[in-house]
Structure 1
Amino acid sequence: MTWLQENPDVHTIRVAASDLNGVARGKRLGRRFADKVLDEGTRFPLSVLNLDIWGEDIDDSPLVFADGDPDGVALPTERGYLPMPWLSAPTALLPMWMFREDGRPFGGDPRHALARVLGRFRALGLTPVVGTELEFYVIDDRGPILRVPPSPRSGKRRPGAEILSLRALDAFDEFFTEIYDGCEAMDIPADTAISEAGIGQFEVNLNHVPDALKAADDAWLFKLLVRGIARSHGFAASFMAKPYEDYSGNGMHVHFSLLDRDGRNVFDDGGPEGSDIFRNAVAGCLAAMPGSALLFFPHGNSYDRLVPEAHAPTGVAWGYENRTAALRIPAGSAKARRIEHRVAGGDVNPYLMLAAILGAALIGIEDKLEPVAPITGNAYEQDLAQLPGTWAEAIDAFEADPLIARILPEELIRNYVATKRQELRYVAELTEQEKVDLYLDTV
């Protein structure tokens, strides 16, 4: 029996794909079209996946007028139909990805970019195992000043940050219960939730899975779920990189390791330092980090998060059990040896973020790169190569980096640069309040 047959109360469906900014673009359909779209897909203009953050066409995009704004074929991913627990009426979501008319994957689709990287891993007999940690704020945005929402239990606002506070979690217990119920229904492997360093800031970890496409799907769907459930409770949940000037920004950390064909973690050499291939992967991630910064910090607000001593890495470095480094190597069993990539903000597109991280690690492995020595102590106090500090610098670095050209399709690089240059021009004209209004719910 299919999922829709098991859920006869569902009368409408959504079909949606991720654009370059991670925004869901798609259509609403009646249930009677469900079988057809599942079997045949539907049609979107290819340019839909290359819109700016406002949902506008890119002025100089070859996908629009130069090519006649042609359609592509959006086909269902392997995820199939999923519930949308944040809507009042029972509704199904069918995640899609885009193909050209002749059946080729559309090079401007971020999910295809990640799949392309994973195909290269498969050719080497390697499987990435990926877990993500997503930070977000719950925010009362009904007035001109952003505030923490009143607790649904007490009706009081708690203005202070409460790191790992059960009281902070319990204050929003019904909200988190609905998130975990929704994750269960959508097959999102939500694990622990904690309160974080900002007012109304929380983090939810998604368990490691040996399928990086699913990990990216999970993160993308989780953001849709959390934002939707928050609005049903009368407040916002925001993955915006820096909603509050005086509090920590939102990050999205990634843990990954690699399995060989026998299921063995190739980062494990039986000791605390890790294997040769582990060091190669570290070196690749470090080498591609400056050019990848635009994918880790994709928006105008992203650069407000890059403040020293605020848990957002600004220098290119790695270290064992060191949370000030861009790459942290967690302690613990050698069998679980892995890399924690701590650079990206919560406002990223998960598909592009994972494509950049895993693609960089793959380059390190292919080229047998060796990393610089790991750091000890406070990375912010050391003389390190720095990540791009402005949006314009990051765009230029991304466009020119030959390592990025080895990771992403040429079409996606061209489209992404055009998108970000258009956004850079128009965001510069906005007030700070307008920037908050733009990013709070969209990223």
Structure 2
Amino acid sequence: MNLGDHPDIRTIRVAAADLNGVARGKRLPRRTAESAISSGTRFPLSVLNLDIWGEDIDDSPLVFESGDPDGVARATERGFLPMPWLNAPTALLPLWMFREDGTPFAGDPRHALAAVLDRFAARGLTPVVGTELEFYVIDDTGPRLRVPPSPRSGKRRQGAEILSLRALDAFDNFFTDIYDGCEDMNIPADTAISEAGIGQFEVNLSHETAMKAADDAWLFKLLVRGIARKHGFAASFMAKPYEDYSGNGMHVHVSVLDAEGRNIFDDGGPQGSDALRHAVAGCLAAMPGSTLVFFPHATSYDRLVPDSHAPTSVGWGYENRTVALRVPAGAPAARRIEHRVAGGDVNPYLMLAAILGGVLAGLEDAVEPPPPVTGNAYAQDLPQLPGTWAEAIDAFDSCPQVARIFPRELVSNFVATKRQELHYVAELSEREKVDLYLDTV
């Protein structure tokens, strides 16, 4: 978006994703736009390491110990983007953080993904990623959460309607605004469907290079939440807003191209190549330690219910939706891994760093995975993911596979963040937890 072509833009926002994926930034007058691009914007480094309430982390080395120094937040390659959910014409400039000497700030989740992608590039490889994002539309104005009334009929849906056109059409203006916003923001929104929960929908984002896919997912969540509020209701990606209905996931499809643009997972047949199996093995090895990335919040673990299409075990299989890693059928040239673990409440940059870091470790080590799972994975004796937030925090802190993927500074910052949240969330009621996470994640 060239601001010169949009004289109606009155203000700009500059923002980066913190470790929770929350946008942290500033509102600036339009006249400062050129400076924001050329010189960056100064933020305290600690801004990218706040808890879910936006509070500093107790005893963080980024705060009092070091004097709470500034970093320089510079524009990403995305440039200015419209913010169609605001009334006044406004542009958003996505940022990522650097230290004063120009080196990347290791505590920035976007830099964590960039470091993994640099390692792929050194091997002449390029990951390609597509995402599937589930969310609920919710009327949160009363004492309990409900599906909003349809703007078309004024009625509320009484039950789930999987792949229902009627459910989609009930919110046609909302989805039209989402797709228009995606077009303006260069987000490759593809198919939209109604899902298994009341007021639950899924939108697929087409395959892109990995950093573009992470940016797209982060921006899509901002867009959807903003457009929903403009229409008078909420849209939430929290892992499980309703006890009795399906949770929100974010499935990720991954393939890897070589320097000639060939899919290294394709061997011409349905089983896929040695590289596919090695990538699967690496993902499985990194999965338990990365659980905190895939389930980062107190309510994330509410989604881990057996027989609910939310994987609880460490396994893989062909065309099997009960496992954590599914290898879909289809044309060999499109052979890929579907990573089905993460909830909708993740930070997309950390999520893709964890997944692709596991893929890369598998390619580097060239190890074979266990046999693929056939049948219902929930009914089989498979290694289990950490089942509680506290267990996931400890696993992330000590896991050697995590240490291969993420810099120690980020690991320490994320663990300190989650331990602080674990302490204070324990004081909240269930409704207070919903109020905390509904719009933030």
TM-score by length of 2: 1.00
User: How far apart, CA to CA, are the structure 1 residues paired with 2:95 and 2:263?
Assistant: 31
Q: Determine the structure 2 residue equivalent to 1:267.
A: 265
Q: Deviations over 1:142-199 (max 9, x none)?
A: 0010000000000000120000000000000000000000000000000000000000
Q: Determine the structure 2 residue equivalent to 1:66.
A: 65
Q: Matched residue of 1:32: which SS?
A: helix
User: How far apart, CA to CA, are the structure 2 residues paired with 1:34 and 1:158?
Assistant: 45
User: How far apart, CA to CA, are the structure 2 residues paired with 1:350 and 1:319?
Assistant: 24
User: How far apart, CA to CA, are the structure 1 residues paired with 2:328 and 2:69?
Assistant: 47
- Two-structure CA RMSD over aligned residues (Å): 0.5
Q: Determine the structure 2 residue equivalent to 1:427.
A: 425
Residue 249 of structure 1 deviates from its aligned partner by 0.3
Q: Determine the structure 1 residue equivalent to 2:151.
A: 152
Number of aligned residues: 441
The match for 1:369 among 349, 367, 370 is 367
Q: Deviations over 1:240-270 (max 9, x none)?
A: 0000000000000000100000000000001
Q: Determine the structure 1 residue equivalent to 2:4.
A: 5
Q: Determine the structure 2 residue equivalent to 1:36.
A: 35
Residue 303 of structure 1 deviates from its aligned partner by 0.2
The match for 1:226 among 224, 227, 232 is 224
User: How far apart, CA to CA, are the structure 1 residues paired with 2:89 and 2:308?
Assistant: 41
Q: 345-354 vs 360-369, which deviates more?
A: 360-369
Q: Matched residue of 1:29: which SS?
A: strand
User: How far apart, CA to CA, are the structure 2 residues paired with 1:75 and 1:89?
Assistant: 24
What are structure 2's unaligned runs of at least 5 residues? none
Q: Determine the structure 2 residue equivalent to 1:251.
A: 249
Q: Give, as a single letter, the amino acid of the residue that structure 2 aligns with 1:308.
A: P
What are structure 1's unaligned runs of at least 5 residues? none
Residue 3 of structure 1 deviates from its aligned partner by 1.0
The match for 2:403 among 405, 417, 422 is 405
What does 1:279-428 align with in structure 2 at a 5 Å threshold?
A: 279-428=277-426
User: How far apart, CA to CA, are the structure 1 residues paired with 2:95 and 2:222?
Assistant: 15
Residue 38 of structure 1 deviates from its aligned partner by 0.8
Residue 87 of structure 1 deviates from its aligned partner by 0.3
Residue 60 of structure 1 deviates from its aligned partner by 1.5
User: How far apart, CA to CA, are the structure 2 residues paired with 1:147 and 1:183?
Assistant: 26
Q: Determine the structure 2 residue equivalent to 1:78.
A: 77
Q: Deviations over 1:325-344 (max 9, x none)?
A: 10000000000000000000
Q: Determine the structure 2 residue equivalent to 1:88.
A: 87
User: How far apart, CA to CA, are the structure 1 residues paired with 2:375 and 2:151?
Assistant: 41
Q: Determine the structure 1 residue equivalent to 2:98.
A: 99
Residue 6 of structure 1 deviates from its aligned partner by 0.8
Q: Matched residue of 2:129: which SS?
A: strand
Q: Deviations over 1:36-55 (max 9, x none)?
A: 11111110000000000000
Residue 369 of structure 1 deviates from its aligned partner by 1.5
Q: Determine the structure 2 residue equivalent to 1:130.
A: 129
Q: Give, as a single letter, the amino acid of the residue that structure 2 aligns with 1:226.
A: V
User: How far apart, CA to CA, are the structure 1 residues paired with 2:109 and 2:98?
Assistant: 12
Q: Deviations over 1:298-318 (max 9, x none)?
A: 000000000001110001010
Q: Matched residue of 1:271: which SS?
A: coil
Q: Give, as a single letter, the amino acid of the residue that structure 2 aligns with 1:389.
A: G
Q: Determine the structure 1 residue equivalent to 2:17.
A: 18
User: How far apart, CA to CA, are the structure 1 residues paired with 2:4 and 2:432?
Assistant: 44
Residue 33 of structure 1 deviates from its aligned partner by 0.4
Q: Determine the structure 2 residue equivalent to 1:161.
A: 160
Q: Matched residue of 2:289: which SS?
A: helix
The question of 1:180 aligning with 2:182 is answered no
Q: Matched residue of 2:338: which SS?
A: strand
Q: Deviations over 1:340-373 (max 9, x none)?
A: 0000000000000000000001001101121000
Q: Deviations over 1:214-258 (max 9, x none)?
A: 100000000000000000011000000000000000000000100
Q: Matched residue of 2:290: which SS?
A: helix
Q: Deviations over 1:280-315 (max 9, x none)?
A: 000000011000000000000000000001110001
Divergent runs of 4+, >2 A: none
User: How far apart, CA to CA, are the structure 1 residues paired with 2:262 and 2:419?
Assistant: 43
Q: Give, as a single letter, the amino acid of the residue that structure 1 aligns with 2:25.
A: G
Q: Give, as a single letter, the amino acid of the residue that structure 2 aligns with 1:427.
A: V
Q: Give, as a single letter, the amino acid of the residue that structure 1 aligns with 2:272.
A: G
Percent of aligned pairs sharing the same letter: 80
Residue 21 of structure 1 deviates from its aligned partner by 0.1
The question of 1:190 aligning with 2:189 is answered yes
Q: Matched residue of 2:159: which SS?
A: coil
User: How far apart, CA to CA, are the structure 2 residues paired with 1:342 and 1:91?
Assistant: 35
Q: Give, as a single letter, the amino acid of the residue that structure 1 aligns with 2:133.
A: L
User: How far apart, CA to CA, are the structure 1 residues paired with 2:391 and 2:59?
Assistant: 21
Residue 89 of structure 1 deviates from its aligned partner by 0.6
